[in-house]
Structure 1
Amino acid sequence: MTKHIRVLQIFICVLLISFSGHSQDHPSLILTKEGVQKIRAELGNVPLFDATLEKVKAEVDAEIALGIETPIPKDFSGGYTHSRHKLNFQTLQKAGVLYQILDDEKYAIYIKDMLFQYESMYKDLPVHPQTRSYARGKLFWQCLNDSNWLVYVSQAYDCVYDYLSKKERKQLEKNLFRPFADFISIENPQFYNRVHNHSTWGNAAVGMIGLVMNDDELIQRALYGIEDDGLPVGAKDNDGGFIKIEGQEVGFLANVDEPFSPDGYYTEGPYYQRYAMYPFLIFAEALHNVKPEQKIFEHKDSVLLKSVNILVNLSDADGDFFPLNDAQKGMSYKSPDVVTALDIAYHYGGHNPQLLSIAEEQGKVLLDDSGLAVAIGIRDGKAEPFQKKSINLTDGTKGDEGGVGILRYGNEDMTLVFKYAAQGLSHGHYDKLSFSLYEKGTEILQDYGLARFVNIEQKGGGNYLKENKTWAKQTIAHNTLVQNETSHFGGKYEVGSKFHSELYFFDTSNPEVQVVSAKEKNAYPGTEMQRTMALIKADGFEKPFLLDILKVVSTTKNKYDLPFYFKGQVMKTNFDFSTPKSLETLGSEHGYQHLWAEGTGQPKEDNSKLSWLENGHFYTLTTASLKDDQLQFVRIGANDPEFNLRRDAGLVIRRKNTQNTTFVSVVESHGQYSPVSEFSVNSNSAISKIELMEDNKEYTAVVVETKANGSQLMLLLANEDKQKNKEHTLTIKNKEYSWTGPYEFVKIN
């Protein structure tokens, strides 16, 4: 009996040792022991990796020379203490990589000294003095940035784990890392226990430090959230987004499952997908290395790896992301977050050679196993151009909550971005059936993006400005229909979150005539909208043009506004307009209070034209007009005493006291102007007229007539039946047209 007890005791001891954290190899999160040896063997032979290493070494050496500073937190984003702590965590992560690759003790000493400086500070550190956030951090004004810190610092700790003594590790874990993880999770469930990019960072932070410490409780908390968080259903954050929805799963896996559609589209939009890709992919890589049984890269049909390709597809010809929902313009796939995501996706996703061409543009790689794989692929000439094609991306967990359709002609000679998606969580805008249009990297018709100067202290502490709610999110800020000067869903998040637009059809089988059509039935009670947009390249046109058909059916008479926000200098119009001596706003709420009414005109013909010049190219908007239409030039910037908004221009087509109607417009790019030669070429529109030939419940037909030879192009739409094999017949001016499917494009004459 005694012998059996002794054997049992030994068995228990073995189990305890195996789970104590001392048997785990380090580094193991992002770098691995095997990977470090391979990197060392390749040094000097992989140009992009070597160049990245030298740059990182110079950055870290400069910080070491300056000395360690961990100031008492007091600032918002962009302030000194915020920026200092941010630079600290980035430097710690880089120093850890350098210690492993170069085997130079000075980097380990630097990490150790800074970690203990934070350990000494954190024990008695109160919550941050700035009170704006719904979840205040300690080192930073919000728990989000505290989570950034722990995601990066856990990597540094992993790299020096074996360098530190057991006593030192115990002290750091007891006084710094475990309290830090508990603070951003258990003590702030309103931040941690939700589906949102904020929580993704929090989940990854808790999980990664849990992996280093071999703390299974933290790992489970990261993957599945806090079981009993005490939060009331329906609680909201500062942006009006739901913190807790009844029955919603939480934790890292839920943040993978819910915001991503099966296609890999992230419901908050590409700007926030870019931001969240770092914790998504870096934690996934750590799980893959330490907990391979989790099979994280296979989760939800490998959606994390798939999403990287989608993110690249959501960019213009310059690599800038389309500003869907809250988004800062100019953010591109050259962002460090995307460098991380792309390298990991390449390494673990089958070595897609097209990703290597993007990595070449990025000009740097991760200093780990995945970055080495990318650099070797580029060195060995495996890179292929990334083919961005027309693509329809579904939104929603199951891909059944609308989406985003992108039509591209040629090598991004013209690109349409058509949004018929879900609300997009708290970063969503009220912009059903909105669009933006690009020629290469030039915005022809723009989406405003967000109202925020990220990390610029002078502008609201670098945080969201109030104009983001009063302007940028409102429907009138987008190129889509507004009814009775009221935003979609009344501008109410809890209403908008229940609905999404529906794809009617998407067809890019003919590259010369690409069409997307979607319907919205819930933005306004009693009103249905259908918008069909076609990107067409035809004889008589120098470049592709966009045909826009927006059909409105309502149970009541309304005032409809359809804005087009153009970039550039007005060249001419074919209608007269008057400009006021003193400016007044276009309205008083729902974003209208931010629009100056700069000029008002009436149509003189059946078609109204506006031409403008931008980036050396001419553009013309031609719209089919009704005699009582009002053509309103507007300028953003009213009721903006701190000049937080850009002073961009737009043209609003206003149609009053109307029940059912259809707006038909064409946008052309044509000609060019050189300020050097001072020559203008092809500066006039190629269109003589556009005409709505037929418009009823079942069918709509539009004709575009060219100036060159009077030839006509007609698009026929079946509004009620989109079946591909359905036969349709329509008689127009005594001529019968027959076709199969939801639409037909006809060249007349």
Structure 2
Amino acid sequence: MTTTSPILLTQPEIADLRKEFGRTSLMGKTIDSHINELQDFMRLPIDVPGHGEAGGYEHNRHKQNYTYMNLAGRLFLITEQQQYADFVIALLEEYADKYLTFDFHVQKNTNPTGRLFHQILNEHCWLLYTSLAYSCVAEVMTDAQQQRIKNRIFEPMLDMFTVKYAHDFDRIHNHGIWAVAAVGICGLAIGKREYLDMAVYGIEHNDSGGFLAQISQLFAPSGYYMEGPYYHRYAIRPTCLFAEVLHRHMPEVDIYNYKDKVIGNTVNALLSTAYPNGQFPALNDASRTMSITDMGVQVAVSVYSKHYGVDDNLLGMAKIQDRVWMHSCGLVLSRALEQAEQKASVGMPFWPSVELNEGPDGTHGAQGFIRMQDKKGDVSQLVMNYGQHGMGHGNFDTLGISFFNRGQEVLREYGFARWVNVEPKFGGRYLDENKSYARQTIAHNAVTVDEKCQNNFDVTRADSVHGMPHFFSVDSDVISGMSAFANQHYDGLSMQRSVFMLALDELESPLLIDLYRLAGEDEHQYDYSHQYEGQIIRTNFDYQSHQEVSTLGADNGYQHLWNIAGGKTSDTALVSWLQNNTYYTWLGTSSNDSSEVFFTRTGANDPSFNLRSEPAFIYRTHGKTSLLASVLETHGYFNEEFEQSVNARGKVTSIKVLGHDDVGSVVQIFTSNSLIVLMVCNQLTTATSQHRVTFNQINYQWTGHYAVDITAIKQEK
């Protein structure tokens, strides 16, 4: 009989995991929950279906089959119960009977098809997990069984991936990471080492493809993944699984130190993007529901713990996840949590503010994540995108922001237009509205110029430019801020956005301050969009509700926006809304003479109801070089059950643009008790540069990128 060892576990590691069986440790609970899940699935008849709709029964059954084969293989090693090996072998035998009888999938999208799935990516996933399962049970299979599985499943798949679809194998993309990881792991499982070499170094062995090229080009030095957190959590699983394989079977690569520890950096980067509730911001094409409990993130946290060390944040993360990877890496984290809980309670993770550079060498802009706690410990998080486009999944929203506090996203990201695995909705794939609305600039919290999308919705053009970081400052307990430029995203127009969180004793939560400057020689229409959720409470301007609604525009996402209401504004415009139990008040102004606010809702030109019906308000102004300035205050409490409403109006009363030019911008904010003057540099300078501007015969000077002056207002008795 041919002997095949488990690829990812040694006998001593298996023995250590066996000791956790039946314990109340995190690993013990993980093993127990996996056993219950697997037993439930094993009660079903074995089924290897043919083709079906993307996201339909057939698709999901193949996915379940490889998921539970992977679990059963490891549980066989840990529990030594033959039933788990028998389950894997029986399923493999069924696939061996049928796989080559399936033609290539009849459904197609932009990706090559497989024999099981409508896109080859899913077949890569199937091969990766099934190969791991096979390596766990091969020692109890006969030579004839092993050979049959190799001849009728694994070898045809390897040939398909590296010959038929060779052009796609070395593609630098999250699909490429799955491809190389699957091929390398399968090569090891069936004793064909040449496939492992191909997976690491590419088909041509010239650094243009393969795993090392993938992690070198897709992950920035900061670890940020160019397609955003949603695709990062998907790409992180094969990345960490294959890294662990290389650590064990190609130690000469020194994978955990490769490219300045890029594996550790990218795990850290992914975790540091999450909101305080664990959900990931929906940057680029993304689901709004993905969080740190995703299995790929669980694997990543476990791998990081073993190879880079455990800290309080990882312990808090593990407690939220309530599971670890069922592997020796996960055991390290489980034991660390157990020891920590014996000494004291483990708190919630609090990731510090961080700026994550983008691009292979870190020079293609960045993503900024600023966090600040209020007096009660609630964390506000401000996110700004000033990096690169994100390839085919990129959205056209450079300088877009999102804002989170009190357990909810306040200035919201729409995410993708897609109903995942809802087969009547185009098989759960990306809908046409993903391009016509969700990826358009107007769908984001940014400024849309002349009702056009950034880079004219041209992916090639968008991939060739990126944002330019100005400053990222989180050194003060009073104010933190970041600023960036986007000077190539609209023809003849440069843009700068500077956003801050300011902590004042009189305010319940940090105040969001937003300065958006656009510089050009021609007259433009500027639409300053805010995606929110909740009910409008009040405004300080009159508006007309339209009894017969029409669209706000004809193209670039505007065709999907119903123009619900609108009104002219003067000086400071105010819009206040209630989201769940919290009031939010936005005050905005500009350096231009006139402005108006439109209240919109998605759903126009959407005959199949593919878009979610969501509100937004758009502050519109016209001008040449213009500064749009706003604040967002979090305040009050509302409880319908107990009929309570506290501080529904907030304390910020106005914001005014005092002036702006190529040197700097100065704005003035009034609250009930304070006068705030914020001065921001509009030039790329250093933190020690001195600046001076004069507006309305008043001189303003400061050192560094920005300065804030807060003066108490005496209240009359």
Q: Distance in 1 between matches of 2:423 and 2:415?
A: 20
- Pairwise CA distance, 1:36: 0.6
What count of residue pairs does the alignment treat as equivalent? Answer: 704
Residue 641 of structure 1 aligns to a residue whose secondary structure is coil
Report 1:309-388 matches (<5 A).
309-381=268-340, 385-388=348-351
Please point out which of 374, 390, 394 is paired with 2:353: 390
Report 1:227-246 matches (<5 A).
227=204
Match of 1:748 in 2: 711
Q: Distance in 2 between matches of 1:430 and 1:721?
A: 24
Q: Distance in 2 between matches of 1:412 and 1:670?
A: 13
Match of 2:632 in 1: 667
- Pairwise CA distance, 1:41: 3.4
- Pairwise CA distance, 1:733: 5.5
Residues 34-43 or 272-281, more deviating: 34-43
Match of 1:576 in 2: 542
The answer to whether structure 1 residue 559 and structure 2 residue 537 are counterparts is no
- Pairwise CA distance, 1:160: 0.9
Q: Distance in 1 between matches of 2:2 and 2:465?
A: 51
Question: TM-score under structure 2 normalisation?
Answer: 0.95
Residue 635 of structure 1 aligns to a residue whose secondary structure is strand
Match of 1:50 in 2: 28
Please point out which of 492, 498, 503 is paired with 2:458: 492
Counterpart AA for 1:26? S
CA contact (8 A) 2:276 2:350 kept: no
Distance verdict in 2 for CA 1:401–1:467, change over 3 Å: same
Question: TM-score under structure 1 normalisation?
Answer: 0.91
CA contact (8 A) 1:96 1:107 kept: yes
The answer to whether structure 1 residue 444 and structure 2 residue 403 are counterparts is no
Residues 211-220 or 727-736, more deviating: 727-736
- Pairwise CA distance, 1:553: 0.6
Q: Distance in 2 between matches of 1:428 and 1:103?
A: 47
Match of 1:241 in 2: none
Please point out which of 655, 674, 699 is paired with 1:690: 655
Q: Deviations over 1:549-571 (max 9, x none)?
A: 11111132111111111111000
Match of 1:26 in 2: 5
CA contact (8 A) 1:46 1:375 kept: no
- Pairwise CA distance, 1:92: 0.5
Residue 549 of structure 2 aligns to a residue whose secondary structure is coil
CA contact (8 A) 1:402 1:503 kept: yes
Counterpart AA for 1:380? Q
Residues 674-683 or 63-72, more deviating: 63-72
- Pairwise CA distance, 1:149: 0.5
Q: Deviations over 1:654-691 (max 9, x none)?
A: 123x2111101111111111112212111113122211
Counterpart AA for 1:682? N
Residues 183-192 or 331-340, more deviating: 183-192
- Pairwise CA distance, 1:627: 4.4
Report 1:211-230 matches (<5 A).
211-227=188-204
Q: Distance in 2 between matches of 1:539 and 1:343?
A: 40
Q: Distance in 1 between matches of 2:455 and 2:323?
A: 44
Match of 2:642 in 1: 677
Match of 2:692 in 1: 729
The answer to whether structure 1 residue 116 and structure 2 residue 131 are counterparts is no
Q: Deviations over 1:98-127 (max 9, x none)?
A: 110111112112211211211121223210
Match of 1:12 in 2: none
Structure 2 unmatched ranges of 5 or more: 713-717
Counterpart AA for 1:650? A
Residues 659-668 or 737-746, more deviating: 737-746
- Pairwise CA distance, 1:273: 0.3
Match of 1:231 in 2: none
Counterpart AA for 1:72? G
Match of 1:458 in 2: 424
Please point out which of 565, 580, 585 is paired with 1:620: 585
CA contact (8 A) 1:46 1:379 kept: no
Match of 2:111 in 1: 134
Q: Deviations over 1:22-44 (max 9, x none)?
A: 67x611x2222221122223434
CA contact (8 A) 2:21 2:32 kept: no
Counterpart AA for 2:484? A
Residue 323 of structure 1 aligns to a residue whose secondary structure is coil
Residues 519-528 or 336-345, more deviating: 336-345
Please point out which of 582, 600, 615 is paired with 1:649: 615
- Pairwise CA distance, 1:64: 2.6
Match of 2:605 in 1: 639
Q: Distance in 1 between matches of 2:285 and 2:511?
A: 28
Residue 340 of structure 2 aligns to a residue whose secondary structure is coil
Counterpart AA for 1:632? F
- Pairwise CA distance, 1:168: 2.3
Distance verdict in 2 for CA 1:617–1:42, change over 3 Å: closer
Match of 1:416 in 2: 382
Residue 275 of structure 2 aligns to a residue whose secondary structure is coil
Q: Distance in 1 between matches of 2:685 and 2:648?
A: 38
- Pairwise CA distance, 1:353: 4.2
Residue 632 of structure 2 aligns to a residue whose secondary structure is strand
CA contact (8 A) 1:317 1:440 kept: no
- Pairwise CA distance, 1:164: 1.7
Q: Distance in 1 between matches of 2:305 and 2:275?
A: 21
The answer to whether structure 1 residue 294 and structure 2 residue 272 are counterparts is no
CA contact (8 A) 2:663 2:693 kept: no
Aligned-CA RMSD value: 1.8
The answer to whether structure 1 residue 702 and structure 2 residue 653 are counterparts is no
Residues 624-633 or 215-224, more deviating: 624-633
Please point out which of 145, 150, 154 is paired with 1:173: 150
Please point out which of 242, 251, 266 is paired with 2:225: 266
The answer to whether structure 1 residue 74 and structure 2 residue 63 are counterparts is no
Q: Distance in 1 between matches of 2:187 and 2:520?
A: 56
- Pairwise CA distance, 1:736: 4.1
CA contact (8 A) 2:54 2:427 kept: yes
CA contact (8 A) 2:545 2:564 kept: yes
Structure 1 unmatched ranges of 5 or more: 1-20, 229-246
Match of 1:200 in 2: 177
- Pairwise CA distance, 1:248: 8.5
Counterpart AA for 2:262? V
Q: Distance in 1 between matches of 2:519 and 2:509?
A: 33
Counterpart AA for 1:725? T
Match of 1:64 in 2: 42
Q: Deviations over 1:73-98 (max 9, x none)?
A: 22211x11111111100110111011
Q: Percent identity?
A: 33
- Pairwise CA distance, 1:184: 2.6
Q: Distance in 1 between matches of 2:442 and 2:215?
A: 32
Residue 527 of structure 2 aligns to a residue whose secondary structure is strand
The answer to whether structure 1 residue 91 and structure 2 residue 68 are counterparts is yes
Residue 550 of structure 2 aligns to a residue whose secondary structure is coil
- Pairwise CA distance, 1:734: 5.3
Match of 1:407 in 2: 370
Match of 2:163 in 1: 186
CA contact (8 A) 1:470 1:591 kept: yes
- Pairwise CA distance, 1:192: 2.1
CA contact (8 A) 2:2 2:139 kept: no
Residue 694 of structure 1 aligns to a residue whose secondary structure is strand
Please point out which of 450, 462, 467 is paired with 1:501: 467
Q: Distance in 2 between matches of 1:62 and 1:634?
A: 47
- Pairwise CA distance, 1:384: 6.0
Residue 31 of structure 1 aligns to a residue whose secondary structure is coil
Q: Distance in 2 between matches of 1:726 and 1:38?
A: 58
Q: Distance in 1 between matches of 2:348 and 2:597?
A: 44
Q: Distance in 2 between matches of 1:739 and 1:571?
A: 39
Residues 141-150 or 310-319, more deviating: 310-319
Q: Distance in 2 between matches of 1:323 and 1:41?
A: 40
Residue 281 of structure 1 aligns to a residue whose secondary structure is helix
CA contact (8 A) 1:185 1:193 kept: no
The answer to whether structure 1 residue 599 and structure 2 residue 565 are counterparts is yes
Residue 150 of structure 2 aligns to a residue whose secondary structure is helix
Match of 2:484 in 1: 518
Counterpart AA for 1:156? A
